[in-house]
Structure 1
Amino acid sequence: MKKRISTLLLLTACAGSLLLAAGCTKKPVIAPDAGGLNSGKTTSFPPADGSEFSQDNLPAVGSLDDASGSGAGGLGDNASDEYKRLHGRSSEGLSPVYFDFDQSAIRGDMTDRMVMNADFLKQSPGTRIVVEGNTDERGTNEYNLALAERRAQNAKQYLVRLGIDGSRMRTISYGEERPLFFGQNEDSYAQNRRADFVAE
C-alpha cells in the first residue's frame, strides 16, 4: 500500500511538471511605450526573431541566481520571500506598490512609497525607469495584460504628478506572466498584484 502511494505521488509530481512545462509557452504582453501612452500593441516577449526588442533595450531584472538584490534589476527570483515582499523586482532605492484585486488605482497605504520613489528619482536625475505592471493569475491573459498596463500607467502618472518628468519613465505590462509567488492563495495573489520600478 505504501509503495502504491509513493508511486502515485511520484506520477502526480511528474504529470504536474509536464503540465507546468506545457504552460510555459510564450504569451503576448503589451509592448513597452516610448514615454507616451501605450499603443496597446501586443507581442511575444521577447519576440523570437528579435525584431521589436533587442537584448540591449530589455528591462533588466537581475539573474535568477542573484538573490542579493544587487543585480541590475535589483532582484533574483531566488531571493528570500521576505526580500521579495519588501522589494518585489524593484531596483535598489525604489519600492514596489501593491494593488487591490481587480483595481488599478494607487492605494492610500501606498502613497508614502510613491513619494519615496519620487524623492529617489529627484535625487538621481539621470536615472530612467521602467514601471512594470503585474497581476495575479486570476482572470484571462488578455484581461490581466490590460489591467497590469493600467496599473503601470497609473503609477507612472502618479510620479509625474509628484514632479518626475514622464520622459524618464516607460511602462510595460507583464500581466500574470512573471509571478514572484506561486501559491494559489490570497497572500500570493496579493504579492503578485504589483507595479515594480526598475532602473534602466
Structure 2
Amino acid sequence: MTTPKRLTIACAIAATVLMLGGCGKKQVGPYTSKAGSNMPEGKSIDYSNGRGTITEELGPSEESLDSAPLNGENVGSLGFAGDKNSDEYKQTYGRSSMEMQPVYFDFDQATIRGDQIQRIEHNADYLKTNPNQNVLVEGNCDDRGTNEYNLALGERRAQNAKNYLIELGVEEYRIRTISYGEERPLFTGQSDFDFSQNRRDDFILE
C-alpha cells in the first residue's frame, strides 16, 4: 500500500472518531419551577397591594398527596374520542377549556400544591402567548362541610390561582373568579377518588 493511500485511510479513521465523539448524549438537568423557589406549597408570596397570599392555610390535610390518584397525567393528549362525559376526559380536563389544565387541592386547603405548579405555569404560558384570551377561574369543593363554608373555600381557591397567574405575568384584568363550592361536582360518588377530583379549580377561556 502506498504512503498516500495510508495517509488517506488514517485521516478518514481520525475524522470518524471525532464525529462519533461529538454525538454523545447531553446531560439534561431536572425540571425546576420557572417561578422560583418561593412558589411551592408552604412558601408564601408577600402581596403588599392587598391581593392576598397564595398559601392561605385552612387546616391540616387529611389525605396525603400519595392518596390521590393523580390527576390528568396525560394532559394534552386525547387518548379518548373527546367525549366530555367520559371519566377519562373529566380526569384530564375537569371542566377546563382543552387548552388549559385544572388545578387540584388537598382537603380543606386553598394552597396551590407543589405538584400542581407545573399545571398553573402551563396555563399562564398559554395566556401570555394568547393575549386576546381572558380566563374565568372556577373554584370547586367536595361536598363535605356546609354550603356556605364550601362557597368561601372555593372562592379562596379561585382567588389563589388568580394571584398565582398574576405573579407569573398574566394581567389582572384578564382573570375573573367564581366559586361554585360543592354545587357542581364532577364525580358524584363518595370515594376518596371522587372527592379528590372535585377539589379543583377549572380554567375557562373567554
- Measured in 1, the distance between the counterparts of 2:199 and 2:181 equals 9
TM-score (norm 2): 0.60
- 1:184 paired with 2:198, answer no
Letter in 2 for 1:140: T
The equivalent of 1:86 in structure 2 is 92
- Find the partner of 1:152 among 158, 163, 167: 158
Structure 2 SS opposite 1:180: coil
The equivalent of 1:196 in structure 2 is 202
The equivalent of 1:101 in structure 2 is 107
Mind listing any 5+ residue stretches in structure 1 that lack a counterpart?
1-35, 38-66, 70-75
Aligned residues: 128
Structure 1 SS opposite 2:96: coil
- Measured in 1, the distance between the counterparts of 2:144 and 2:108 equals 9
Query: Cα RMSD between the aligned structures?
Result: 1.6
Deviation at residue 68 of structure 1 after TM alignment: 3.3
- Measured in 2, the distance between the counterparts of 1:68 and 1:143 equals 34
- Measured in 1, the distance between the counterparts of 2:175 and 2:128 equals 13
- 1:68 paired with 2:74, answer no
The equivalent of 1:118 in structure 2 is 124
**Taking every aligned residue pair, what percent have the same amino acid on both sides?**
62
Letter in 2 for 1:68: G
Letter in 2 for 1:164: V
- Measured in 2, the distance between the counterparts of 1:68 and 1:168 equals 28
Structure 1 SS opposite 2:99: coil
TM-score (norm 1): 0.62
Structure 1 SS opposite 2:115: helix
> Could you list the runs of 4 or more consecutive aligned residues of structure 1 that deviate by over 2 angstroms after TM superposition?
none
Mind listing any 5+ residue stretches in structure 2 that lack a counterpart?
1-49, 52-80
Structure 1 SS opposite 2:201: strand
Structure 2 SS opposite 1:182: coil
The equivalent of 2:173 in structure 1 is 167
Deviation at residue 92 of structure 1 after TM alignment: 1.7
